[in-house]
Structure 1
Amino acid sequence: MKKTAFLSLLLGTALAACRTPKTETASSDRQKPITTIAFGSCSHQKRPTPLWDDIVAQKPDVWIWLGDNIYGDSESMDTLKAKYEKQKANPGYAQLRQSTKIIGIWDDHDYGVNDGGKEYPRRKESQQLLLDFLDVPANDPLRKQEGAYSAHVYGPKGQRVKVILLDGRYFRDPLKTENKINVPDPSGDILGEAQWQWLERQLTNSDADVHVIGCGIQFLANDHIYEKWGNFPTARQRLLALLGKTKPKGAILISGDRHMAEVSKTSVPGLGYDLYDITSSGLTHVSKPREETNNLRVGPVIFELNYGHFTINWNEKPLTVTARINGDNQATYLTQEIRF
């Protein structure tokens, strides 16, 4: 083989390797450790947005959308697109986009239908609009994937964070109701088998030191009548059992949807530390204060506009994450130390 042909072959092989799609993560930045993550949900594109300046001031390394990123509720993709564009043009959010990595997942209103699941007929088209909103490149494997779930790795080994965002809409079975009230459906599923297998791969032998696992609906709170993982108890137990089996370091759950904020905690056999679900909702509107039972709740319920914030304390032994529910004018409504 001539030298020029050999060099051309090497160059072609290298370029092909560079073009090989990433199938396990949507993004990866393994150089610099991250210490702060902010997250939130329920942002109506027509309402005032007083929290963006507070969030920008925190200088988070990553911002995570947890669903209801717009209130679309339509089978018209033109309608959803216009609402996403309005949200994206918000000056405060535009400032955050310039300074912070943005990732996210959807819930029902941005998916396209209230309380919807796999029965929504425009889910494929809607997924592309979500990825447009999140600035996912046109050639990213997420563009061809069924479902909007993704994983993102940040930081070097020893200070590595993996964010796993679960799609609780695209594959979810319809809710079971009685007298228009949600009731548990042990035979129903949330993630779909392809996403379950993907999740197990993400958790098995992961070298991350902190695993942030997000979904639009609450994982742990199980006493209320609204949407939750508990509507599908077999799926909820499968998730907890998977965490106990794979034993990821530093797992924390995050969720939105509820138009209030709270912290829930449970113990998972085999996990070795308490599992928390930090619920943050909403960015533009919240429910009126009320009593609501949650036997797993730690601390108060917050009925103020809010966002979630994590500080990862890498120098502490054992590793500690400080979770906060923050609000307007730099308010902090709740602080929870999570130790692993």
Structure 2
Amino acid sequence: MCDRMPLLGMFPSQKRSPPLTIMNLTKLHPFLLLGSFCLASLATCDTAKANDVVGPLVGAVESTSANFLYRVGESEQPLRLSVLLDGDVVQAVDSIGRQEDDFVAKFSISNLRPDTRYHYQITNTKTGETLIEADEQHAFRTANPARHGNRVSVGFVSCVDIEPNGIWKEMQGLDLDTVCLMGDTPYIDSTDLKKVRTRHREFLQMPDLAELAANTPVVGTWDDHDFGLNNGNGHNLMEGKVDTRRGFVNYRAHSQFGNGKEGVYHRVDLGMIEVFFLDPRYFSQTEPSPVDPTQPTCFGAEQWEWLLTGLRESKAPFKVLAFGAIWEDKKNFETDDMFTYWYERDALLDVVKNENIGGVVLLGGDIHVARHLIHPQRVGYDLHDFVISPGHKRTITELDVFHPSLEWSLVEGWQFLTLTADGTQAEPTLTAEFRQPDGVVNRQVKLPLASLTAVDSSKPDSGLRAHWSFDGDLKNQSVLGDRVDAVAVNDALVVTDGGVSGGALKLDRSREQFARVPRSFLDDNSNHHTVSLWFKPTSLPAHGTSERHFLLESTAEGTESAKSAWHLSLGMRSSEDASKVNLQLFTHTLQPATEIGAAPAAKAQGGFDALVDREALLGRWNHVVLAFDSSSLTLTLNDKQIAKHPLPVPGPASEFGGLIIGGHRVGAGRNFDGWIDEVSIWQGEMPAETK
């Protein structure tokens, strides 16, 4: 047996190092090529070449179990992995890396003690040779199953190529409990099994990652490039995905890979945190969705049931729903995001909301931009959505796009994320940190567990998303708070009296006055909501003209723009009857895809007309209620339903970014003239007691 020496400290800065290959090794100091040279993470003292060896790698580790892999070379050798505690062997398991598994041996150990540090060694049972010593480099700690009073930290990274970077070394210094490879880790873009395996081998052989994985659990899922094809799905990779899965399974040490034959989904329970690693690739586009049989699935029926069961059973305070894609629209030509499968995404989030499952956060990758979104009150509490990408240096500025829930973004490389669940204080807290090498923390988000707990849905105002009383100011008085405070434009006034109740918003059409709401207040692709407001017109559109007086209209990106996103649009225009005015509605809805692999699109619908007596509107306060339920628009005026408009193409709301009160989405030119008061918007129905 030879002595092993650390290699990592002998390289130049990781940011400038070339990939580790045999050719590059020959360029290093000559003493590294001595006959006695061997590297614990890359080679053994037999005749194996350095590029044949992978591992040892610590995989999924929970409170009483641990999984490992080791490829000793291109030969089938009988191996034994022994787990030691205080120098004594307490568990051992034998394995052989078979040729059909690319000579990768897997080891699964059970019946371990929770929260205990162990060492491990690997021996050749035929020769008795110790290949991996039970030293400090080859150790692991089982998870602490406690749901409180403990601290757990997990690292996430996506989009990493086979090249030097500073991330793995940085992670080593953070003492992470688990590292999660979230897809495009590595880039493969092939379904050729030999290439798939070669790329996985080369990825895990990167020196810093090899050193990290020798004593830190490394797990994860895949995305399109390690699935085999950019924008790949289960349909367009129907044949090749069998081999890309085979290569993935060879080079990950998980306790579960999908249903055992298909997919790679699994979960890891770390006590304070449970991570659900989802597979949005293997089953996508291959069968009807379990939530809408008219649409193709993303997750597939089996994964869907596995996920719902796991969420319902989970006792972890914090639950991470993680995959390599993103949960919203990428807004490019690709369809590998959950906007394409909005019906499954929304059904999943509805389960979280309706069954009061607390502590859920979302995590994605893929887009080469890091982002933090907050979907307000989506699951009975604010739903935090973390996008971590890329782990290499190649960013995509074009994917740093608007979203009404976007809070922060950063278009830089070498990014990774840590989630730390700390239950050692009185209030358990989940802290997210967007990080880069050299100790850089670009953003920190602290989430007390109480903030990830559903409010009482039985309260009458639990569905109230926005309310502007205009009693002295433009502040929002719903649970969304100042997120959707309105802003006066062109000196629009809030008068202190004369409203329905207290003050009101007074608008002068000649001065093009209105109020702007800078953010959306509804769920993404909301399928049911209600708007209520009072208005008292000073003037109405003149008969025989093209004048239009808008009470409200939604905007595309939170500010005035001609860009169409008018899901909410309520205005008045003249009609052929001089005694009538047309209270007219328009809407934008989401039209489901009509062919395999296509994305949904925004569908413009309307105008929908309702004629009202002019004299009945002028000089008095009028109460109008607009209800949307994905199949129709219902309009009620002064407690009387005056129209119910079926939608020619049923569907939920398309994306919008804000609201103009008293004007058109462009802001100026089609403004209301008079007073507006008590504007309220509910997610769902308007409570009976407020009607």
Output the TM-score relative to the length of structure 1: 0.80
Following superposition, the deviation at residue 224 of structure 1 comes to 2.5
Do structure 1's residue 44 and structure 2's residue 152 form an aligned pair? no
> Which of 401, 424, 442 is matched with 1:292 structurally?
401
Task: Measure the CA separation in 1 of the matches of 2:257 and 2:157.
Answer: 25
Aligned to 2:361: 252
Do structure 1's residue 325 and structure 2's residue 437 form an aligned pair? no
Q: Is the 8 A contact 1:224 1:293 kept in 2?
A: no
Task: Measure the CA separation in 2 of the matches of 1:308 and 1:79.
Answer: 29
Following superposition, the deviation at residue 143 of structure 1 comes to 7.7
Greater RCO, 1 or 2 (C-alpha within 8 Å, sep 6+):
1
Following superposition, the deviation at residue 142 of structure 1 comes to 5.0
Task: Measure the CA separation in 2 of the matches of 1:31 and 1:263.
Answer: 29
Letter in 2 for 1:100: T
Q: 1:34 to 1:150 in 2, by over 3 A?
A: farther
Task: Measure the CA separation in 2 of the matches of 1:108 and 1:193.
Answer: 21
Do structure 1's residue 312 and structure 2's residue 421 form an aligned pair? yes
Following superposition, the deviation at residue 332 of structure 1 comes to 1.0
State the secondary structure of the residue aligned to 1:272. Answer: coil
Do structure 1's residue 233 and structure 2's residue 342 form an aligned pair? yes
Q: Is the 8 A contact 2:330 2:337 kept in 1?
A: no
Task: Measure the CA separation in 1 of the matches of 2:395 and 2:330.
Answer: 17
> Which of 202, 205, 208 is matched with 2:316 structurally?
208
Q: Greater shift after overlay, 106-115 or 122-131?
A: 122-131
Q: 1:166 to 1:141 in 2, by over 3 A?
A: closer
Structure 1 gaps, min length 5: 1-18, 22-27, 175-185
Q: Is the 8 A contact 1:223 1:295 kept in 2?
A: no
Task: Measure the CA separation in 1 of the matches of 2:443 and 2:176.
Answer: 18
Following superposition, the deviation at residue 245 of structure 1 comes to 2.9
> Which of 274, 278, 282 is matched with 1:166 structurally?
278
Letter in 2 for 1:293: F
Aligned to 2:587: none
Do structure 1's residue 279 and structure 2's residue 279 form an aligned pair? no
Task: Measure the CA separation in 1 of the matches of 2:414 and 2:404.
Answer: 24
Task: Measure the CA separation in 2 of the matches of 1:315 and 1:274.
Answer: 24
State the secondary structure of the residue aligned to 2:172. Answer: helix
Following superposition, the deviation at residue 216 of structure 1 comes to 1.1
Structure with greater strand percent: 2
> Which of 210, 213, 225 is matched with 1:94 structurally?
210
Q: 1:141 to 1:48 in 2, by over 3 A?
A: closer
Q: 1:141 to 1:305 in 2, by over 3 A?
A: closer
Q: How many pairs are equivalent?
A: 296
Following superposition, the deviation at residue 268 of structure 1 comes to 4.6
Aligned to 1:135: 253
Letter in 2 for 1:310: L
Output the TM-score relative to the length of structure 2: 0.41
Aligned to 1:35: 152
Task: Measure the CA separation in 1 of the matches of 2:245 and 2:330.
Answer: 31
State the secondary structure of the residue aligned to 1:110. Answer: helix
Following superposition, the deviation at residue 289 of structure 1 comes to 4.0
Task: Measure the CA separation in 2 of the matches of 1:141 and 1:215.
Answer: 14
Structure 2 gaps, min length 5: 1-107, 111-141, 287-293, 450-691
Task: Measure the CA separation in 1 of the matches of 2:252 and 2:219.
Answer: 6
Q: 1:276 to 1:128 in 2, by over 3 A?
A: same
Q: 1:234 to 1:143 in 2, by over 3 A?
A: closer
Task: Measure the CA separation in 2 of the matches of 1:294 and 1:301.
Answer: 14
State the secondary structure of the residue aligned to 1:254. Answer: strand
Aligned to 2:184: 68
Aligned to 1:264: 373
> Which of 314, 322, 326 is matched with 1:218 structurally?
326
Letter in 1 for 2:415: N
Q: Is the 8 A contact 1:205 1:246 kept in 2?
A: no
Structure with greater helix percent: 1
> Which of 158, 173, 187 is matched with 2:295 structurally?
187
Q: Is the 8 A contact 2:372 2:407 kept in 1?
A: yes
Following superposition, the deviation at residue 281 of structure 1 comes to 0.8
Task: Measure the CA separation in 1 of the matches of 2:172 and 2:447.
Answer: 24
Do structure 1's residue 198 and structure 2's residue 314 form an aligned pair? no
Q: Is the 8 A contact 2:417 2:435 kept in 1?
A: yes
Question: Considering only CA atoms, is the larger Rg found in Structure 1 or Structure 2?
Answer: 2
Task: Measure the CA separation in 2 of the matches of 1:288 and 1:122.
Answer: 28
Q: Is the 8 A contact 1:206 1:248 kept in 2?
A: no
Query: What is the CA deviation profile of residues 127-185 of structure 1, one whole-angstrom value per residue up to 9, with x for unaligned ones?
Result: 22212222247xx6658242100011123xxxx321101100001118xxxxxxxxxxx
